[in-house]
Amino acid sequence: DQQVKQNSPSLSVQEGRISILNCDYTNSMFDYFLWYKKYPAEGPTFLISISSIKDKNEDGRFTVFLNKSAKHLSLHIVPSQPGDSAVYFCAAGSEFGNEKLTFGTGTRLTIIP
Amino acid sequence: NAGVMQNPRHLVRRRGQEARLRCSPMKGHSHVYWYRQLPEEGLKFMVYLQKENIIDESGMPKERFSAEFPKEGPSILRIQQVVRGDSAAYFCASSPARQGATEAFFGQGTRLTVV
Percent of chain A with pLDDT strictly greater than 90: 80
Instruction: Please write the tens of the pLDDT for every residue from A18-61.
Output: 999 999 999 998 989 999 999 988 999 999 999 999 999 999 99
Task: Check residues B31 and B114 and name the one with the higher pLDDT.
Answer: B114
| Res. B102: pLDDT tops 90 | no
Contact flag A93-B105 (C-beta cutoff 8 Å)? no
How buried is residue B55: exposed, middle or buried, by Cβ count under 10 Å (0-12/13-18/19+)? middle
Q: Which residues of chain B lie closer than 8 angstroms to A95, CB-CB? A: 100-101
Amino acid identity of A86?
A: A
Q: For testing the chain B interface, which of A38, A57, A99 should be mutated: the one with the most B CBs within 10 Å?
A: A99
| Res. A97: pLDDT tops 60 | no
Tally C-beta pairs within 8 A across A and B: 72
Q: Which residues of chain A lie closer than 8 angstroms to B103, CB-CB? A: 34, 46, 49
Whole-number Å distance between alpha carbons of B38 and B50: 25
CA distance A102 to chain B (A): 7
CA angle at residue B45 from B40 to B50, to 5 degrees?
145
Instruction: Say what the alpha-carbon torsion angle A23, A65, A38, B65 is, to the nearest 10 degrees.
Output: -60
Q: Does B58 touch chain A (CB under 8 A)?
A: yes
Q: Which residues of chain A lie closer than 8 angstroms to B101, CB-CB? A: 95
Are the CB atoms for A105 and A77 separated by under 8 Å?
A: no
Instruction: Please write the tens of the pLDDT for every residue from B11-51.
Output: 999 999 999 999 999 988 888 999 999 887 889 999 999 98
How buried is residue B56: exposed, middle or buried, by Cβ count under 10 Å (0-12/13-18/19+)? middle
pLDDT of A41 reads 84
pLDDT of B39 reads 80
| Res. A68: pLDDT tops 90 | yes
Partners of residue B110 on adjacent β-strands: B90
DSSP classification of residue A45: E
Instruction: Please write the tens of the pLDDT for every residue from B47-94.
Output: 999 988 999 999 999 999 999 999 889 999 999 999 999 999 999 999
Nearest to B102 by CA among A7, A27, A93, A22: A93
Mean per-residue pLDDT for A70-98? 91
| Res. B2: pLDDT tops 90 | no
Whole-number Å distance between alpha carbons of A48 and B53: 29
Residue A95's contacts (CB-CB under 8 Å, 6 or more residues apart) are A31, A32, B100, B101
Whole-number Å distance between alpha carbons of B63 and B81: 10
Q: For testing the chain A interface, which of B7, B30, B43 should be mutated: the one with the most A CBs within 10 Å?
A: B43
Contact flag B56-A94 (C-beta cutoff 8 Å)? no
